[in-house]
Every structure is written in C-alpha cells, then in structure tokens.
Amino acid sequence: MNYRHAFHAGNFADVHKHTVLVALLDRLTRKPKPLFFLDTHAGRGRYDLQSNDARRSNESQQGIDRLRARVPVNADIARYLTLGGLTAGEAQPVTAAYSGSPLLALAALRDGDRVVFVEQQAEEARILRNETRHHRNVSIVCGDGYAALTTWLPPKENRGLVLIDPPFESPKEFDTLASALATFASRWSNGVCAAWYPLKSSRESARFLSTLQQSGIRRILTLELSVRPADSPLGLNGSGMLIINPPWQLDQEMRLAMDEMHATLAAEGATRAKVHWLVGE
C-alpha cells in the first residue's frame, strides 16, 4: 500500500469529514451515558502541514487554510476549528499540526468513553500510539479496519459511532466499503456509522449509492460537498459522507454547515452541497 495521508491532510475532504465527525460526536455526547468509538482507518493522528510531504501537494491551501481564514458563522464549523486547536480569522497558512480523526475524536469524547483506533501501516500506528499515550480507554490496533467491525461490534455500551475512512487506492474499495456497511448494520443495528467516499466519477459513486439503497439498511443520510464541477478530470471533485442512523436533526443542521463550507471552498461551477436521505425510516 502506497497511501500516505500526509499528502492530503487538511484538504477540503478532511475539512468536510472532520466537521461532520465532530458534529456527530457532539450530539452523541449530549447524554451522559458512555459511548464506544471505533475508527477503522485511523492514520497517525496528527499531521505536520509544513512537512515535505504536505508542502509537495499543498492541498491544505484549498482546505483548512481557506476555511479558517474567515470566522465561521456556523457553530459546527467553529467547534471543529476549536477542537483542532485552530484560531479562525487568520489569513496566513496553518503552521500548527493538523489534527486527524483520532485526535479530534479524543478532544470531543469524555474520559468514560471507550475508543478503538485501527491502522494497517505499522509506522502510522506507532506514531498514533505515541500521540494518544496520555489517554485512558484507548486501544490502538495495527491491522485491518474492516475486520475490526466483526471483532468489536456490537459494543457493550450499545451507543456510539464507527468511522470508516478508507484510502480508496484500490478500484474495489467502493465494493469493500458497501459490504463493510452491511456488516456494520447486521452486527449493530442501532449504532451510528459514518463512512467517507470520494466524488470523482459520478458513475462510480452512483453505483455505490444504488447498492446501498438496495441493501435493506434503513436510515441512510448522505452529505456531499463538491468543490469542482462533476466529472472534472482534475481528480477529487468532491467529498461524500454517508451516515447510517444519524442523530435527530443532523440533516437540517449539517445543511447549514455544508452551505457555508461550499461558499468558502468550492470553485465556480461546482455542484451545490447536497444533503440527501438515500434511505428513510
């Protein structure tokens, strides 16, 4: 596997995914009962945006640098910046390390919550172990995140979230993700699951969504943020988050956050931000 998230950290897709992740955890922690959080593709936890890898692609310029240059109106965007330790309203590039999903989740969760991070690359898992060493109730597993769904679900807390954020290097990843979502739903019918998917070719993402529509899984919400016109040959045109069993009113609340992200991050001609119930109750 060649995938290195350091090349992409802080890009528009990270901004989108991480705002949704924080919004989900904020809603789930409103009740005092302990939660379980599983991050199947966790990465290293924190990314240096000044590293050679990050500077080579400079993807954060069109992502986190742009987003935090303005003070956000939306409370969910503001909360994501705060938990990531970023001050809003500063025009210069972010020089601080950028928090990935594990560190954002730990900032949103409480001491009594239980957390499992799975990462396949040994070096990334080692760095993540070091980043999270001061946290209790955290297990770091170096292995396959998809297999972890059968190992860890259903959790004894019976409340919580699974984040599935695959690298999409393999052409089969859409199929693997669709079957992982079926595994999730069969093992933990009332859990919440958030999965990231790329918007590159609309044919591929439409096929993936149609598979899920026919899967029998109920309550699937999709949140799609496009920053370029659909099927533009430049590469990643948009970022999708699919949520099974979203908390109450997340659809309406995320619509506001997505519209603001779109206004800040999208190029002319990009499809509007889309919040859509793929499957209802």
Ligand X SMILES: C[S@@+](CC[C@H](N)C(=O)[O-])C[C@H]1O[C@@H](n2cnc3c(N)ncnc32)[C@H](O)[C@@H]1O
Instruction: Report the catalytic residues.
Output: 165
Among residues 117 and 188, whose Cβ is nearest to ligand X? 117
Segment interacting with ligand X (CB under 6 A) among 83-91, 117-125, 132-140, 180-188? 117-125
SS3 state at 267: coil
CA proximity to 38, closest of 171, 167, 162, 138: 162
> In the complex with ligand X, which residue's Cβ is closer, 144 or 204?
144
CB of 231 to ligand X, least distance (A): 22
**DSSP state at residue 240:** E
The reply to whether 100 sits near ligand X by the rule CB under 6 A is yes
Counting residues that bind ligand X (by CB under 6 A) gives 19
Q: Which two tokens stand for residue 78?
A: 């503001």
CA-nearest of 52, 111, 60, 119 to 84 is 60
Q: Burial-class residue 136 by CB neighbours within 10 Å (0-12, 13-18, 19+).
A: exposed
Residue 271 interacting with ligand X (CB under 6 A)? no
Q: Which stretch binds ligand X (CB under 6 A): 30-38, 68-76, 114-122, 238-246?
A: 114-122
Binding mask 132-151 for ligand X (x = CB under 6 A): ------------xxx-----
- Specify the residue, 65 or 119, whose C-beta has the smaller distance to ligand X: 119
For residue 41, state whether it binds ligand X (rule: CB under 6 A): yes
Q: Are 66 and 98 in contact (CB under 8 A)?
A: no
> Residue 241 pairs with which residues in a beta bridge?
196, 223
In this complex, which beta carbon is closest to ligand X, that of residue 16 or of residue 262? 16
163 versus 257: smaller Cβ distance to ligand X: 163
Within 6-100, where are the H helices? 12-28, 52-57, 64-69, 75-83
In the bound complex, what is the minimum distance in angstroms from residue 233's beta carbon to ligand X? 22
Q: Is 167 in the site for ligand X (CB under 6 A)?
A: yes
96 Cβ neighbours under 8 A, 6+ residues apart: 49, 85, 86
Which residues make up the interface to ligand X (CB under 6 A)? 1, 3, 5, 40-43, 100-101, 118-121, 124, 144-146, 165, 167
